[in-house]
Amino acid sequence: MTLANRQGTGAVVPVERNDQRFRAGQGTAAGLSIVFRKFRKALFGKPNSDRSDTEGQFNVQYPEERLSLPEAYRNMPILLFDDATGHELCTSCFQCERVCPPQVIHITQAKDPATGKPVPSAAEFIIEYDTCMSCGYCAEVCPFDAIKMDHDYELSTSNHPELDVNYNRLLRPVSYYETIAPTLWNDVRESAMKKLQNNIKRRPGAIGVDHGQKVGAKAAPAAVARPADPAGAGASAVVPAAKRAPVAAIGKTMSEEKLAKLQSIRADNQAKRGGAGAPVDSAHAVEAAVGVQPDTAQVAAPDAATPGSVAPGATGPVAAVGTSMSEEKRAKLEAIRAAKRAQGGE
Amino acid sequence: MLKTEELRINIGPQHPSTHGVFRMLVTVDGETLVDLKPVFGYLHRNHEQLGEVNSYLQNMPFTDRLDYFNSMINNHAYARSVEMLAGIEVPERAQYIRVIMDELSRILNHATALGFMLGDMGAWQTALLWGLREREKILDLFEYVSGARMMCNYARFGGVARDIDDYFITETRKLMDGLPHYFDDFEGLLTNSEIMLARARNIGVLPKELALSYSVTGPVLRASGVPYDIRRAEPYAVYDRFDFDIPVGTVGDVYDRFLVRIAEMRQAYRILEQAFQQLPEAGGGHINPKVKQQSLKPPIGEAYARVESPKGELGFYLVSDGTGNAYRYKVRAPSFINLTALADMCKGYKLADAMVILGSIDIVMGEVDR
């Protein structure tokens, strides 16, 4: 039988109300026995990881433990720039501004100072994070893959105007996006880079590079400039202007699963390039340009940044429960749990 | 007999068991409810007018915010309405993906709705958290496939935003392995409990005729004994290809609504099983590539598409004048229409029963007020 001419069947079934049964509390007792069974499993069972489990421990101790985020996860939009050249991928084509349902994207096109003609680059780019509804349309329609959805969800701030995020605070290196969504970026990487090369040719001078400085001088009216030092800024919404922030720090809490994926993709790409007889140097150069050495990044992470001083953007790509939690955090969690156990025992 | 004076009191709009910002203006005689007037509008946010200003695609994420428990089903219903308006064909695979998401939504909605209802009844926390736990697992799957847990924004005109992959299928299969145990546990927890029977049986009876005259739909109508399910009455997507039963109640009280919802979760599980069996054979991609999503301009005309949401008949009415945004956009929200029957359901019962009856209708204020 083919799918199209399959005919479903079904009946109208009255639900059973168990009306005539003799009652002496056995219904309540049956329910309570289920509760006690589950309660025992929750107390002495193992933490649950499989989706088919219906008993055991389900809790995730949030600040210490985090669930890993899927690659497609979307929170707030960010803009990408190329690690090697510093060129922004955005060409101010206004597609995202047009499609944005709550209309929170505001773009100003860059102009050539010599001729006054528009250049495929944005002079200013503001997104109102407080009104953004995270629908992901901007990332979906962007023909240049310049705007992507970030994974950072710890955006709370006491400074409301800060949530009108300007260009330099929206910018992230491509390698950062690669760490949070390796497969998705791999699908579009080649076309995005090709388009970027074409656009660079049409950008005279330094337009489209080093945006942080230019905009900083102009001092965008809505966005309050934030201190460049992430440690001084404390826990706040957006990664500060430092475009050249060490990418290694950003990728430090990448889950192992994602890391493995990223490395395999890179190996593939390298093999492709190497097949044409490229020298080992060029592969190194690419690695250096991208700026991430995930192996060292993970080791270096705990001492490079203490929890208080990390900009939340850096903690975005979140560790899978128990798998890639940093040693420090795991030890802390163990200590907390041991203390609780001791308390319960006494 | 002692003469008593009637008293008018407000329940809500900020009350833990009014399921959102909803006010009930009740008149009580002692503890007996004499009259009830539902007052809503506190969550009004101009949804329908916004739908007439926004383009067709731009309105999709706003439909997520109607019934925020089932954004997948809202998206499906809205996409169906626009597809009907513009004459867009949907590939078979996309239809199956939509059905899978709809039935997962149905399970999560009923699990939480029953949890909240039992919470109103006094079974504080246990039942509710069991419902939320299953919901959480399903939301993780939604997050994987669509990028967001609750505001999925997953449907597009002519399909869905992203295809489902092997990981999603294996994980959903895993989840489904645990679902029958979950249904049994949830049913065993309170179905025969004497306290539950005392609180639910013959409480909030909605007779068949009254239900029909209020045009109540969904589990509330089926609990009153009317076997009306849009999936069977007017099959959409590929629902005509599945074997599933329609559970109906006999009395139309709170207890029947509880039982009907549990039975519906089991039927949703059956549909999921069949959908996953048939999915590999289904042709076409996850989306119709010919459709211009952003600059869609349907021809002049009108369309009304409806789906069976877990709360009842969810319909979107659109009128096109040939431009990029709808001339008229109207939502037929099941919660809103089911809520109009609340007064007749509550009259004559005790004040404490009003909460349980409200819980048994399963309303979401985002959909009621729009």
A9: closest chain B residue by CA? B243
Average pLDDT on B216-236 reads: 90
Phi then psi dihedrals of residue B233, to 5 deg: -70, -40
Query: What is the pLDDT at residue A1?
Result: 57
Q: Which of A12, A35, A41, A318 to mutate to test the interface with B (most CBs of B within 10 A)?
A: A12
Question: How close is the nearest chain A Cα to the Cα of B322, in Å?
Answer: 19
Q: Both ends of chain B: CA-CA distance in Å?
A: 47
Query: What is the pLDDT at residue B265?
Result: 92
- Is A20 part of the contact surface with chain B (CB cutoff 8 Å)? no
Q: Which two tokens stand for residue B176?
A: 């489904």
pTM for the model: 0.78
CB contact under 8 Å between A141 and B241, yes or no, is: no
Q: Tell me the three-class secondary structure of chain B, residue by residue.
A: CCCCCCEEEEECCCCCCCCCCCEEEEEEECCEEEEEEEECCCCCCCHHHHHHHCECCCCHHHHHCCCCCCHHHHHHHHHHHHHHHHCCCCCHHHHHHHHHHHHHHHHHHHHHHHHHHHHHHCCCCHHHHHHHHHHHHHHHHHHHHHCCCCCCCCEECCEECCCCCHHHHHHHHHHHHHHHHHHHHHHHHHCCCHHHHHHHCCCCCCCHHHHHHCCCCCHHHHHCCCCCCHHHHCCCCCHHHCCCCEEECCCCCHHHHHHHHHHHHHHHHHHHHHHHHHHHHCCCCCECCCCCCCCCCCCCEEEEEEEEECCEEEEEEEEECCCCECCEEEEECHHHHHHCCHHHHHCCCEHHHHHHHHHHHCCCHHHHHC
C-beta of residue B131 within 8 angstroms of C-beta of residue B117? no
- Is B162 part of the contact surface with chain A (CB cutoff 8 Å)? yes
Query: What is the pLDDT at residue A81?
Result: 86
CB contact under 8 Å between B162 and A72, yes or no, is: yes
| Distance from C-alpha of A56 to C-alpha of A296, rounded to nearest angstrom | 36
* Residues on chain A touching B219 (C-beta within 8 angstroms): none
CB contact under 8 Å between B240 and A73, yes or no, is: no
| Distance from C-alpha of B249 to C-alpha of A28, rounded to nearest angstrom | 23
Output the DSSP codes for A51-119: TT--SSB----TTT--PPPPTT---SEEEEE-TTT--BS-----HHHHH-TT--EEEEEEE-TTT--EE
Question: How close is the nearest chain B Cα to the Cα of A41, in Å?
Answer: 14
Query: What is the pLDDT at residue A211?
Result: 58
CB contact under 8 Å between B137 and A51, yes or no, is: yes
CATH of span A77-189+206-257? 3.30.70
- Is A58 part of the contact surface with chain B (CB cutoff 8 Å)? yes
* Residues on chain B touching A51 (C-beta within 8 angstroms): 137, 140, 171, 174-175, 178
Please give chain A's pLDDT, 346 residues, in tens: 567 677 778 888 888 887 766 677 777 888 888 888 888 888 887 777 777 777 777 778 888 888 888 888 998 999 888 887 778 888 888 889 889 999 899 998 888 878 878 888 888 888 998 889 999 899 989 988 889 998 888 888 888 888 888 888 888 888 888 888 888 888 888 888 888 888 888 777 777 776 544 443 333 333 333 333 333 333 333 443 344 344 444 444 566 777 777 778 778 877 766 654 444 444 444 444 444 444 433 433 334 333 443 344 433 344 344 445 567 777 888 888 888 777 765 4
- Comparing CB atoms, the residue among B62, B171, B241 nearest residue A3 is B241
> Rounded to the nearest 5 degrees, what angle is found at the Cα of A184, between the Cα atoms of A181 and A185?
80
Q: Which of B197, B273, B286 to mutate to test the interface with A (most CBs of A within 10 A)?
A: B197
- Comparing CB atoms, the residue among B148, B190, B239 nearest residue A134 is B148
CB contact under 8 Å between A52 and B190, yes or no, is: no
Question: Which of A325-339, B64-78, B191-205 bottoms out in mean pLDDT, i.e. has the lowest?
Answer: A325-339
Residues in a beta bridge with A121: none
Question: How close is the nearest chain B Cα to the Cα of A232, in Å?
Answer: 32
Average pLDDT on B332-361 reads: 89
Considering chain A, tell me which residue range(s) the CATH 3.30.70 domain(s) occupy. Answer: 77-189+206-257
Count the alpha carbons within 13 Å of B83 in the hemisphere toward its beta carbon.
Answer: 24
B270: closest chain A residue by CA? A10
* Residues on chain B touching A133 (C-beta within 8 angstroms): 61, 151
* Predicted ipTM > 0.90: no
| Helix axis angle, B166-190 to A26-44, nearest 10° | 140
Query: What is the pLDDT at residue A253?
Result: 52
Query: What is the pLDDT at residue A323?
Result: 47
Share of chain B above pLDDT 90, in %: 31
* Residues on chain A touching B188 (C-beta within 8 angstroms): 30-31, 34
CB contact under 8 Å between B61 and A149, yes or no, is: no
- Is A184 part of the contact surface with chain B (CB cutoff 8 Å)? no
Which tens digit of pLDDT belongs to each residue from B87-107?
898 998 999 999 999 999 999
